[in-house]
Structure formats: structure tokens, C-alpha cells
């Protein structure tokens, strides 16, 4: 249904629960001065006397509140379904509380947006109207939590889920922008993730039009939530779709780092920082995240709108490969994730990320060998590489002991790389567990990951042949 100021469902799960649509709770907003001739008149929507019913809707418990209205659960008696209804006072569009646009303006804006937008990742408005001195908007109920619960100072979402939520928002904004509507208030509290994982973009109360055909003014007062406003929004310039994409990028930064992009004690100082100070690199804050993902976010946070992504779809497409990369690790059972972490401490995998290891594990077989059993035999003709994950084996050639291999060592590189005959015999001295990689397995990896493994194996072979005095293989890539 709505955004919230805490983990919430559109149905109140506890007495202190909050959920709302088109209401922002106590967060500060920047605003221009009221445009009317006289002093601004205060609207206090929280003082609304809520009736027992509004038309065919029986009003239930309050589940959200904000400066522009309050949200109650309700029953649609005609259709027999539970809905959420937002109530705000009837007023004049130009009247403002001094912090946000007047409730009447927000109500009218949301009606226009609702009439033009029907997308699975945008909250659905079923009905709207006026009864006595109240405006009402009737919306779908979505049980879930807003992204505010996973950002600043909170437990972080798994990376692939954070990226996936933002990618869904990208597509919702792409749809909205194509219909001439700029949201202007993208922030964690206006993005809800339902219990089934569906992402919903909320609150078009301060939207403006991107063209003259949207039914909305192209320009409005300089409004938004300071921490998420684009530089051009702060400066009061005419906005493009890239402004929403900048705001969405600030949300992504917060979801991935647990901290807001910029902070300051005073709003005017915050605005100066947003306009002039470069955004920190993602991989400088979380060094384990790939530089390529940091590059994507850096583009989204560019001060110049022309440098940012040209559309929500282009932004979503840039995120998609990383969603798949991280999903392969983060959706594994805890025991498998621990196994991946243990491999990262072993010599063969020390330069590989958890994602690269997880990708390889999709293609290998785990083999166990008893004491005395051969891992590799001379002239077997098999093109396979074995990486020992635990246990000890001896390496013998022509009856002579060449050495002992153990956890993190590999055997079989020559045959794996180019089919050279294996002169050594490798025999387990204890129970040995090893990952068996067949010669064609690496070709199924993404090209960069394939090359990384191939170079690693080639380097290990070169070192062994050099040590043995048999360096005769061309390893140029």
C-alpha cells in the first residue's frame, strides 16, 4: 500500500505500527515559499476527524500518517476487499504548511498520476473522491516493509536483493517517465518491498510533468527530501528523468553501504555538499564490492545529468549482470557460503572473489579419494585439474618422490591446459577431497572469470615446470 516509517504492513501488525501512502512522516523537506499573496495558512491533516465510513468504504484502524494526510485500512463493501484509504483536508492547491506542498495540491497530483500510471511496480490507486471536507484516495494493500528498513544504520539487504529492488524501480520510473511524469521524491521510505518480494514505488504527491501533455505542470516549487535530491533539483532548475535516476542512485548507495550518501547538520550545508562535492566511490566504502559495480553507481551519481543513464531501462540493464553474480552466492545455504569462504583462504583461490568461486562450483565435481588411491596416473590421457580442498597426497615420478601436495594445491595442470602427457603419479596419503575441473568447464564461465582462472592455472603450471626444469609450454594469452 504505502511507505512507512518502520517495518510495516499495510495492515497494522502491532499497536505502534505505521504505514502510509503519500505521507512522509517527520523527515524534513526543502520547500519554496508559498506562492499565494497572503501569509501561508496552516493545514493540519493529523487533526482530521475521521468518519466511520467514506462512501462505500468502512474505515478501520489508522496505519500511517504524515504532513499531507493520514492512511487507514478500510473495507470496500461493494467488492468485499481490504484497501488502504488516504484522507486529507479539502483546501486550495496553493496553500502550504511551509514544509511540503499543500494537501490539496498533493491530492490533485496523485489523481493525475494514478490516471496515467498502471505498472506492477507502482502502487495502484483504485478510487478517489471528495466527501464533505475530506479528499480520499483508495489504494491497494501491500504487506511488506519500505527500503527505509534496510538503509542507514540498519541491517543490509543481500546485495542481489538490493540491486534487484532498485532495478525494479528503474523500470517503474522508465514507465512513468515515458508517460511524462517525474516523481521528484524518490527515497527509501517511498519504495516498498512486499512479503512476496514485489517492489512498489509510492507517493506521487509532488510529481511534475516532463512535457505539456502529462496533465501536470512542468515546473513546481523546489521540493523533495534533502538527502535524496539531485543537484539540479536543489538549484531549482528544470528537471529531466535523470533527476529521478540520481535520487534512486542515492538510495542504492545507502542500501549497499548502510549510510547516506552525504550528511550535514544543516540543510543549507547539505545542499552545498550535494551540488559541489563528488560522491564517494562505492568500492572505497565497501572494498569487497567490484569496481565495475562502483562504476555503474558513479555514473548514476554524476553531477551532470547528461553523464547519467539516459533512461531507467539503461540503468536497470547495467545492474542486471551484478544481480545474477551476487545471487549465485547469496542464495546458497549457509554451509555452502562457509565453504566458499574457506576456499578463499586456500592458495589456489586466494585471488578470487566469492562470486567467482561460486560460479566455478556450479561447474565442478567434488571428488573424494581414500588413502592409497591415485588421484592422477601417468599417461591417463584425462584433461582434468584437481584442486585439493583437504588431505595430503604424494607426487611420484619414475619411482622418485617429487613432493607432497595438500590443501589449496592443484595437480594435472599440464593435461588441463594443452593435453600434455602427465608423467607424475599423485597418490592420496590420507583421505583427500578435491574439486575436479574438466577441460571444457571454464568455457562456460563469463569471459573475464574464465580468463582469471585460466591465467591462474597457467601460472601454476609455469612455476612447476620451471622448478622441474621442463618449461617448454607457450603460455602467452
What tens digit of pLDDT does each residue of 30-85 get?
Answer: 333 333 334 434 444 456 788 899 989 999 998 876 656 788 999 999 999 999 99
Long-range contacts at 35-44 (CB < 8 A, ≥ 24 apart): 35/94, 35/221, 36/92, 36/94, 36/95, 40/95, 40/96, 40/97, 40/98, 41/95, 42/97, 42/98, 43/89, 43/91, 43/95, 43/96, 43/97, 43/102, 43/103, 44/97
| 5 part of a folded domain | no
Q: Indicate whether 437 and 416 sit together in one domain.
A: yes
- Residues 68, 86 contacting (CB under 8 angstroms): no
| 21 part of a folded domain | no
Q: Indicate whether 193 and 49 sit together in one domain.
A: yes
Q: Indicate whether 231 and 339 sit together in one domain.
A: no
Q: Indicate whether 283 and 398 sit together in one domain.
A: no
Q: Indicate whether 291 and 375 sit together in one domain.
A: no
| pLDDT for the residue numbered 154 | 81
User: What CATH number did the domain enclosing 453 receive?
Assistant: 2.60.120.10
| pLDDT for the residue numbered 40 | 39
pLDDT tier at 471, thresholds 50, 70, 90: very low
Q: Indicate whether 396 and 294 sit together in one domain.
A: no
φ/ψ (deg, to 5) at 366: -90, 125
pLDDT tier at 147, thresholds 50, 70, 90: very high
Mean pLDDT of 373-394: 86
- Residues 254, 261 contacting (CB under 8 angstroms): yes
> Is 37 among the catalytic positions?
no
| 148 part of a folded domain | yes
Q: Indicate whether 244 and 352 sit together in one domain.
A: no
pLDDT tier at 329, thresholds 50, 70, 90: confident
Q: Mean pLDDT over all residues of the chain? A: 81
Question: d(Cα 259, Cα 253) in Å, to the nearest integer?
Answer: 8
> Between residues 262 and 17, which one has the greater pLDDT?
262
| 413 part of a folded domain | yes
List of residues 6+ apart from 119 with CB closer than 8 A? 171, 172, 175, 176
| 38 part of a folded domain | no
Q: Give the range with max mean pLDDT: 218-227, 334-343, 380-389.
A: 334-343
Active-site entry in 185, 203, 244, 354: 185
Q: What is the pLDDT of residues 255-276, one digit of tens each?
A: 999 999 998 889 889 999 999 9
User: What CATH number did the domain enclosing 60 receive?
Assistant: 1.10.510.10
Mean pLDDT of 15-19: 35
| pLDDT for the residue numbered 473 | 42
Question: For the purposes of burial, counting CB atoms within 10 Å of the CB of 73, is it exposed (0-12), middle (13-18) or buried (19 or more)?
Answer: buried
Q: What is the pLDDT of residues 72-126, one digit of tens each?
A: 999 999 999 999 998 888 865 555 444 444 666 777 777 777 778 889 999 888 9
Q: Indicate whether 416 and 387 sit together in one domain.
A: yes
| 236 part of a folded domain | yes
243, containing H or E segment: helix 241-257
Mean pLDDT of 445-464: 88
Let me know the angle formed at the C-alpha of 284 by 274 and 312, rounded to the nearest 5 degrees. 55
Q: Indicate whether 128 and 268 sit together in one domain.
A: yes
Q: Parallel, antiparallel, or unpaired: how do β-strands 134-139 and 125-131 relate?
A: antiparallel
| pLDDT for the residue numbered 160 | 94
Let me know the angle formed at the C-alpha of 42 by 67 and 11, rounded to the nearest 5 degrees. 25
Q: Could you tell me the three cell numbers for 284?
A: 572505497
| pLDDT for the residue numbered 97 | 47
Q: Indicate whether 341 and 294 sit together in one domain.
A: no
Task: Provide, rounded to the nearest whole percent, the portion of the chain with pLDDT above 90.
Answer: 41
Which DSSP letter does residue 148 get?
Answer: G
Domain end position, chosen among 262, 294, 327: 327
Structural domains in the chain (count)? 2
Domain end position, chosen among 276, 296, 327: 327
Entry pTM: 0.71
Domain end position, chosen among 327, 343, 366: 327
Question: For the purposes of burial, counting CB atoms within 10 Å of the CB of 41, is it exposed (0-12), middle (13-18) or buried (19 or more)?
Answer: middle
Question: d(Cα 166, Cα 84) in Å, to the nearest integer?
Answer: 25
| pLDDT for the residue numbered 18 | 35
pLDDT tier at 472, thresholds 50, 70, 90: very low
Domain range spanning residue 377?
A: 334-468
| 163 part of a folded domain | yes
| 34 part of a folded domain | no
List of residues 6+ apart from 315 with CB closer than 8 A? 167, 170, 245, 248, 300, 309
Q: Indicate whether 412 and 452 sit together in one domain.
A: yes
Q: Indicate whether 149 and 227 sit together in one domain.
A: yes
- pLDDT for 157 beyond 70: yes
Amino acid at each position: 500500500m504505502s511507505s512507512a516509517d518502520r517495518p510495516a504492513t499495510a495492515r497494522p501488525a502491532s499497536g505502534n505500527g505505521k504505514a502510509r501512502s503519500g505521507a512522509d512522516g517527520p523527515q524534513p523537506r526543502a520547500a519554496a515559499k508559498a506562492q499565494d499573496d497572503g501569509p501561508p495558512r496552516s493545514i493540519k491533516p493529523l487533526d482530521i476527524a475521521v468518519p466511520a465510513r467514506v462512501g462505500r468504504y468502512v474505515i478501520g484502524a489508522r496505519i500511517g500518517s504524515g504532513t499531507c494526510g493520514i492512511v487507514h485500512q478500510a473495507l470496500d463493501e461493494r467488492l468485499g476487499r481490504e484497501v488502504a484509504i488516504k484522507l486529507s483536508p479539502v483546501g486550495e492547491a496553493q496553500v502550504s504548511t511551509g514544509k511540503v506542498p499543500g494537501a490539496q495540491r498533493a491530492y490533485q497530483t496523485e489523481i493525475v498520476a494514478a490516471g496515467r500510471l498502471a505498472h506492477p511496480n507502482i502502487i495502484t490507486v483504485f478510487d478517489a473522491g471528495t466527501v464533505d471536507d475530506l479528499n480520499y484516495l483508495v489504494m491497494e494493500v501491500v504487506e511488506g516493509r519500505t527500503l527505509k528498513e534496510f538503509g542507514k544504520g540498519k541491517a543490509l539487504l543481500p546485495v542481489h536483493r538490493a540491486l534487484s529492488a532498485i532495478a525494479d524501480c528503474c523500470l517503474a520510473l522508465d514507465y512513468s517517465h515515458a508517460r511524462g511524469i517525474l516523481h521528484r521524491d524518490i527515497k527509501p521510505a517511498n519504495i516498498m518491498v512486499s512479503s512476496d518480494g514485489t517492489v512498489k514505488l509510492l507517493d506521487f504527491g509532488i510529481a511534475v510533468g516532463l512535457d505539456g501533455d502529462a496533465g501536470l505542470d512542468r515546473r513546481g516549487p523546489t521540493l523533495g527530501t534533502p538527502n535524496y535530491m539531485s543537484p539540479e533539483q536543489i538549484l531549482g532548475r528544470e528537471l529531466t528523468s535523470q533527476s529521478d535516476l540520481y535520487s534512486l542512485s542515492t538510495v542504492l548507495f545507502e542500501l549497499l553501504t548502510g549510510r547516506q550518501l552525504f550528511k550535514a547538520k544543516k540543510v543549507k550545508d547539505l545542499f552545498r555538499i550535494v551540488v559541489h562535492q563528488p560522491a564517494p566511490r562505492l568500492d572505497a566504502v565497501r572494498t569487497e564490492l567490484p569496481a565495475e559495480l562502483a562504476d555503474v553507481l558513479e555514473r548514476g551519481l554524476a553531477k551532470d545529468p547528461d553523464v547519467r543513464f539516459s533512461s531507467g531501462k539503461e540503468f536497470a540493464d547495467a545492474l542486471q549482470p551484478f544481480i545474477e553474480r551476487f545471487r549465485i552466492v547469496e542464495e546458497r545455504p549457509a554451509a555452502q557460503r562457509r565453504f566458499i569462504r574457506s576456499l578463499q583462504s586456500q592458495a589456489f583461490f586466494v585471488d578470487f572473489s566469492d562470486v567467482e568461486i561460486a560460479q566455478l562450483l556450479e561447474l565442478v565435481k567434488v571428488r573424494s579419494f581414500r588413502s592409497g588411491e591415485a588421484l592422477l596416473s601417468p599417461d591417463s590421457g584425462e584433461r582434468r585439474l584437481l584442486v585439493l580442498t583437504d588431505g595430503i597426497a604424494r607426487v611420484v615420478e619414475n619411482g622418485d618422490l617429487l613432493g607432497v601436495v595438500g590443501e589449496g594445491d592443484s595437480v594435472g595442470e599440464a593435461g588441463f591446459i594443452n593435453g600434455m602427457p602427465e608423467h607424475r603419479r599423485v597418490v592420496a596419503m590420507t583421505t583427500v577431497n578435491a574439486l575436479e575441473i574438466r577441460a571444457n568447464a571454464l568455457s562456460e564461465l563469463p569471459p573475464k572469470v574464465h580468463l582469471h582462472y585460466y591465467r591462474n592455472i597457467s601460472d601454476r603450471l609455469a612455476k612447476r615446470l620451471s622448478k622441474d626444469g621442463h618449461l617448454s609450454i607457450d603460455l602467452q594469452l
